[in-house]
Amino acid sequence: MNKTFITLLCAAATMTATADEITLFDFEDFNLGDAVAMRDYYSEDGTTPSKAEITSDPSGKAGKVLHVKNGSWNTLAELPLQGITAEEISEYDLITFDLYRPDSETDDYRQFRCGIGDGFLHDVENEFLHQGAKGQWVKRTYSISPVSSTSDKFYIGFNSVDMEYYLDNIRLVSSSDDYDMNNPEETLRYHADRITVPAKIGIGCAVPAWNDEVVNDNNIAAQTIYNNFNIVVGENQMKPAYLQPKKGEFSWWDADRLVNLAQRHDMEVRGHTLVWHSQTLPWVTSDGYKNDGNGGKGYNREELLQILKDHITTVMTHYKGKIREWDVVNECLDDNQSIVYSQPTKYNLRNSVWKTVIGEDYLDSAFVYAHRADPDAILYINDYGADFKGDAKSEAYYNLVKRLLKSNIPVQGVGFQCHLGLGVDASKFENNVKRYADLGVEVSLTELDITTWNAGDYEQHIRQGEDYRALLEVALKYKHIRNFVVWGVTDDKSWRSPDPLLFKSNYKPKYAFFALRNTLEEWADRAAGIEDIEVDEQLPELSPYVDVYDITGRLVKQQLEREQINSLDPGLYIIDRKKILIR
């Protein structure tokens, strides 16, 4: 119910990136039966020559289409460009077309290519292009990069032997909408900074470790970061392996530059991370699990506790007062949590070197050392694969946090990494994280990224943007959710693929950027009371019960008897989508 309400409010201002587009070929001015040349790109010369011609639509709808039968590898249909040059084409950044296949194996890969003359506009990795195209038209969208050529020959098709397909409506699209990052109102952080109800929201990104670019204020990488985000985290710079590569020898250079960048631009910092099995102290363990440091002798429990204490204390003291929150322990849970099915309050810890040599209480100790080193820092536990209610690992995570709190361990924040893929069920995330409010801890999305299925597919970018938006709406709605941190800046530099982040390799914003910015803007405006609540004319019949929201859209009472409305505390509420003042 609450959700419906929020969606209703947001629908009005949903942004659609304006897209410029032109049709290159819809084949309507060709004649049925016209042969289309095939270019054999690498002279593969199969036994059956590849053939293409103009036919009618195999699905029976009106219209002419291009029909291709590949007999050899690397053959592409050759079409004459009319009235447009390679230079003009290079102003667009996407190509879309409709694809139809009479057959389609379930496990074959196909490569899509197109180009002008000898230059490829798009030359991709293998993909499951056929999927969904068997017996029906599907839309495909790919990114293109500029080609300099004076040729008027346009090439398009699949790099595959023995493949039959139809193409139609080949269009070029300029995906959008740029933004002016020097105009605050066009950035993410300007709007995030205006939000104070129900709580402040941190909008953050991981700063990639190629520090030379990101710490130079004149570089577009740094500018993109400090203009858009109010909190940053080092993607690698503060991991134990980087900070203490040799016992007792600390190397602060990269991490300090990150903190300096943040301080120059008034951004908060998340520290990531103090204790982990991966990228951990290389002189303690070769793989995070084996106790094979110390010249092969390994360390005993007391020694490892001392090592943890020294590392945590030295690092947190060095950054005292400069880091808002620390991921004290990262990824301590095992992936297999089937234990929760038989023992619903339990969890399994990962058998890292810390756990096997010290025991479970390495967690307790780490938090206590951290709290002593910097009592003002907010101490987080952080993990992946525990994002959605109902997943065993999510239950285990909840159990673990409750156990630590019961032991009076100073855990103050719970991080959900959120390394996700297209098709996010935000309500499962909501159901998972809302219960942490009762534990008195704050929650953050700490490493969010959402992969698509095919690189450069604009429709998937739109779906991805909607997934990002839905998660941000959850984050905004709850007081105990503090940070919404995306794991990187541009797609090409992400640790995952395809296309998981908010910016393209050239720092141009993707649809997801606009989805987030508009959501932040609406929320800020709404909280400031600037925007009038829209009233839907077709209200359902009045029910005897009402859901009561505060002015920010947060549910304050569910299913209140209508007669009881006047007994609410004085204030402004939204009931039945109308503002109601109770005095």
Count residues contacting ligand XIL (CB under 6 A)?
A: 7
> What's the CA gap between 441 and 444, in Å, rounded?
10
Residue with tokens 């239950």: 395
Q: Which of 168, 325, 383, 499 is catalytic?
A: 383
Q: Which amino acid is at 10?
A: C
Q: Which amino acid is at 57?
A: D
Quick one: 193 or 235, whose CB is closer to ligand XIL?
A: 235
User: How many CB atoms are located within 10 Å of the residue 273 CB?
Assistant: 24
Which residue in 410, 495, 556, 568 binds ligand XIL (CB under 6 A)?
A: 495
CB of 419 to ligand XIL, least distance (A): 6
> What's the CA gap between 101 and 95, in Å, rounded?
19
Q: What single DSSP character describes residue 127? A: B
CB of 383 to ligand XIL, least distance (A): 9
Residue 375 in tokens: 């009592």
Quick one: 55 or 279, whose CB is closer to ligand XIL?
A: 279
Residue 188 in tokens: 């993410």
Q: Is 236 in the site for ligand XIL (CB under 6 A)?
A: yes
Tell me if residue 331 is catalytic.
yes
CB of 236 to ligand XIL, least distance (A): 5
248-307 positions binding ligand XIL, by CB under 6 A = none
Q: Is 395 in the site for ligand XIL (CB under 6 A)?
A: no
Which residue in 160, 394, 417, 452 binds ligand XIL (CB under 6 A)?
A: 417
| Sequence-separated (6 or more) residues with CB below 8 Å from residue 125 | 111, 455
Residue with tokens 């156990």: 403
Quick one: 179 or 487, whose CB is closer to ligand XIL?
A: 487
What's 32-53 look like in SS3? CCCEECEEECCCCCCCCCCEEE
180-209 positions binding ligand XIL, by CB under 6 A = none
Q: Is 235 in the site for ligand XIL (CB under 6 A)?
A: yes
Tell me if residue 531 is catalytic.
no
Q: Which of 235, 331, 467, 491 is catalytic?
A: 331
Q: Is 447 in the site for ligand XIL (CB under 6 A)?
A: yes
CB of 414 to ligand XIL, least distance (A): 14
Write the CA distances from 12 to 16, 510, 532, integer angstroms. Answer: 11, 21, 11
Tell me if residue 303 is catalytic.
no
Residue 21: helix, strand or coil by DSSP?
strand
Quick one: 27 or 484, whose CB is closer to ligand XIL?
A: 484
Quick one: 299 or 384, whose CB is closer to ligand XIL?
A: 384
Phi/psi for 552 (5° steps) reads -90, 0
Closest residue to bound ligand XIL by CB: 495
> What's the CA gap between 354 and 363, in Å, rounded?
9
Quick one: 384 or 511, whose CB is closer to ligand XIL?
A: 384
CB of 215 to ligand XIL, least distance (A): 17
| Sequence-separated (6 or more) residues with CB below 8 Å from residue 110 | 126, 127, 128, 129, 130, 158, 159, 160, 163
Q: Is 55 in the site for ligand XIL (CB under 6 A)?
A: no
Q: Is 330 in the site for ligand XIL (CB under 6 A)?
A: yes
Residues with a known catalytic role? 331, 383, 447
Residues that bind ligand XIL (CB under 6 A): 235-236, 330, 384, 417, 447, 495
